[in-house]
Amino acid sequence: TMRRARVLLTLLKRLRVILFCLIAWTAVLVLRQVTWPSRSQLIALAASLATAWVVVSVTSRTVSNRLLAQVVAVTAWSLVALGMLGWLPGTVAFLDQAALQLGDTRMSLLLLLKTGLTLTVLLWAAAAVSRLVDRRVAGVDEISPSMRVLIEKLSRIVLYTLAVVVGLQTIGFKVRHHL
């Protein structure tokens, strides 16, 4: 498909950097076995940055929506930077402490970010499965056009509802209590 071709093309364009990552990580492993671990820190940093660059680049290229691809890239680079600076645990703790108590529910910024990310991924997956169902149903000649539309609409409703319910339950929201 088009997405696979885009990922493959991105990997081929990044082949030199990927080879650099493999060589750099091999050098880090060898240096840590042969000499003091501190002597490999600079190479490990370069290898980490290059690896992060490849992963972020390939990941953001798989997203066909330009705005969403930029959001994915900025978010990933922010996480990489916070992790490399050692600030990620402190940032996570800060986001978890910034919270409001709404009845029995504690709503923190971290929970809202997790919810947004979880729902985004699950809704994206539901859309992908929905497109797959649409293609499969369109290929069946024995089904009437009105029945095809019904099946496509029902599958879309079920998949999106399931994505929202599962997404809310994974972050601790008890859906059964609110239905």
pLDDT at position 62 is: 76
| Contact by Cβ (8 Å): 62, 6 | yes
% of the chain at pLDDT higher than 70: 97
Torsion of CA 113, 11, 48, 33, to 10 degrees: 140
Q: What is residue 102's DSSP assignment?
A: E
Output 1 or 74, whichever has higher pLDDT: 74
- Global pTM? 0.68
d(CA 10, CA 28): 26
**Average pLDDT value for residue range 79-90:** 91
Q: Write down the H helix ranges in the chain.
A: 2-13, 15-34, 41-61, 66-85, 88-97, 109-138, 145-170, 175-178
Per-residue pLDDT band for 176 (boundaries 50, 70, 90) equals low
% of the chain at pLDDT higher than 90: 42
| pLDDT over 60 (residue 178) | no
Q: State phi, psi for 23 to the nearest 5 degrees.
A: -65, -45
Render pLDDT for 119-148 as a digit per residue (tens, 0 to 9).
988 998 999 899 999 999 988 888 888 999
| Contact by Cβ (8 Å): 83, 55 | no
10 Å Cβ neighbour count for 79? Answer: 14
Render pLDDT for 43-59 as a digit per residue (tens, 0 to 9).
998 999 999 998 888 88
pLDDT at position 47 is: 93
